[in-house]
Structure 1
Amino acid sequence: MINRVVLVGRLTKNPELRYTPNGVAVTSFTIAVNRPFSNQQGERDADFIPVVVWRRQAENAANFLQKGSLAGVDGRIQTRNYENNEGRRVYVTEVVADSVQFLEPKGSRNANGGNYAPSSPSASANQQRGGFAPSNNNAMNGASQDQGAPSFDDPFAGDSKPIDISDDDLPF
């Protein structure tokens, strides 16, 4: 049997971090995933999929993701049911994430006013297919540097020197 889900989309609201009575962290959020086709009106619909993350990944998701963040989720579909206060059986289908990937640099949505600005026509096409292409906001970065805001310039761009990294600094 196989139960595997891979999603890429944007959070519809800030993640909610809670702790079980045993102290285990659990975070829940909803991710909006665009459908790959247009409806009869020519608009693209999205599916809003509930996601649950446990333990350390839950704390990381709550600390580093926010409404509108682009995230990748790898996990499994789970169904459960419970009886609500009115005595009715409620069925819930959700994705239990094994891994959550942060697909944008931290603060990048705030730096450009919350809007995605592709850097080229090919980047725009990549975004329309659901991919991610970094924005090229050199004018914005120059303005924000004067105000003390962080710059998102590539530290390795235009530098043809080899990168000197010790094997001790590698995470693997």
Structure 2
Amino acid sequence: MSFLHTAWTRTRPNLLLVLPILLLAGALVAGGLTWRAQTTNREIAALEANQDRPVTTAAASQLILARVLQLARRDATEEMEPLVVALESRDVPLLLARARYALGNARLRRALDLIERSQLDPAGPLIVLARQEYRRALQARPEFWDAKFNLDVAARLIRDFPEVDRQIGDELKAEPKKIWTDIPGQPRGAP
């Protein structure tokens, strides 16, 4: 008992000096983290209000996602890609899935716009890229129903366009449709 009493009497004055310094350091760290979170929240609110704010790849993950979503509304896919890659290097699968989904949606919207203007050739690669983004979103978050649905829509779009071989001039040659199934045991040819 006397050993503990002796140790306590020796360390008590030092603890009384160190404890306020530790508490002050903890308060400063907490204040800095709070200030950083408030700054990030202000930037996210500004991006959601459609104010153009530059965001670096070193920013907070939520801020990067907010910038990706803003760029997706403007269909600026080239600007989105480095930010999505930055999210990929972090361990935030939910945010990454939302970013990939937004990138896929932007590409699919651009492809649908091209289809409406009857520009099928440039629309095909955009649909393929959109499908890839939806698959990557599902890899990050397998239960993401919206990504599943859009992947299905994009898969059906690319299937609906026949493979066409261009010939000289305006002549197009399309492959004939397969009428009979390739299921084993089913007859081939006329009934």
* Alignment TM-score, normalising by the size of structure 2: 0.19
Higher relative contact order (CA 8 A, sep 6+): 1
Return the structure number with greater helix share: 2
Return the structure number with greater strand share: 1
